[in-house]
Amino acid sequence: MADIIDGRAVARQLDDETKAQVDQMIAKGQPRPGLAVVLVGEDGASQVYVRRKIKGCEKVGIRSIERRMPAETTQEELLAVVAELNADPEVNGILVQVPLPDHIDARTVLSAIKPEKDVDGFHPVNVGRLSTGTGGIVPCTPLGIMKLIDTVVDDLTGLDAVVIGKSNIVGKPVANLLLDREATVTVTHIYTENLPEIARKADIIVAAAGAPELVKGFWVKDGAVIIDVGITRIMGDDGKEKLVGDVAFDEVQHAKAVTPVPGGVGPMTIACLLANTVQAAQTQLE
Ligand code: GUN
């Protein structure tokens, strides 16, 4: 049986470390780190995510600043809020929840956030730093994925890693992080031919295609480590809705370890956001 990587437990441990860092800052008389979360419009999933992020802040002692704006907000109005938060010394991290309404260009808005306050790691400066291995803020989900891999693999040097999915938020940054750790990385996507054969060579599979149960048992070699980033709501055989990942979980029990959905990568994303916020606050003190 494959080991199940408990993302909730790893996230709790990271939260404890983040809280200890915040407590230490306060004990030294330093300002409490602050995270601004900006939500435009009424998207249901975004509201849930934002609520979880605010609750996470409370848990570790980060001050949260919530800015909710109506769906009709213009790009100029949103850019003005970003400028205000950029200039506010009590705000160390700024997160503009995406997706944004269609009339707003997300790239323009995300690029307007000061790179040192960009706790999502989406700003081109942080993307460039990651791809050149020169520090910066690392996007939360890829950072969480690496921390989960670290719980089951000591040394990635020379291991074959196959990333399925080439998104800017997961696929590309996680490929860079794996390369930094000296893995041999293959990035694949929906147009990749012979995907099952490529996946079968992998010591590590990161499945981030957003395709429910894409990765079948025969795609996975014995002893591989599988990180499942997908999360899709589907109708089960019993007529009940269920959440599934990009991996056919029941078919991969010959793997060394696999993340469950839910309870794998998901909890790590918020824990890494909180850790990034404290890191940003400390960098801003230097
Ligand atoms: N929407 C879904 N995931 C994310 C995320 O990690 N950051 C932001 N800003 N928006 C999101």
Q: Tell me, what CATH number does 213's domain have?
A: 3.40.50.720
Name the residue of 49, 107, 231 whose CB sits within 8 Å of the most ligand 1 atoms, as the mutation to test its pocket. Answer: 49
Please give the tally of structural domains in the chain. 2
Residue 95 in contact with ligand 1 by CB distance below 6 A: yes
Domain housing 201? 140-266
Q: What does the pLDDT look like over 68-113, one tens digit per residue?
A: 999 999 999 999 999 999 999 999 999 999 999 999 999 999 999 9
168 shares its domain with 239: yes
In a domain, 281, yes or no: no
- How far is it, in rounded angstroms, from Cα 232 to Cα 262? 10
Task: Say if 10 falls within a structural domain.
Answer: no
Q: Is the CB of 97 under 6 A from ligand 1?
A: yes
Compute, in angstroms, the gap from residue 251 CA to the centroid of ligand 1: 30
Do 97 and 156 reside in the same domain of the chain? no
- The whole-chain average pLDDT of the chain stands at 97
What is the model's pTM? 0.96
Strand pairing category for 63-69 and 204-207: unpaired
Span 127-178, pLDDT tens digits: 999 999 999 999 999 999 999 999 999 999 999 999 999 999 999 999 999 9
pLDDT, tens digit, for every residue of 241-282? 999 999 999 999 999 999 999 999 999 999 999 999 999 999
Put residue 210 in one of left, alpha, beta given phi > 0 → left and psi -120 to 50 → alpha: left
Mark whether 176 and 233 lie in a shared domain: yes
| 176 and 254, same domain (yes or no) | yes
46 annotated binding-site participant: no
117 is catalytic: no
CATH of the domain at 33: 3.40.50.10860
Q: Please enumerate in sequence order all residues whose Cβ is within 8 A of that of 250, keeping only pairs 6 or more positions apart, or say none.
A: none
Report how far apart, in Å, the C-alpha atoms of 194 and of each of 191, 198, 199 are. Answer: 10, 6, 9
Which is nearest to 170 in space by CA: 142, 145, 149? Answer: 142
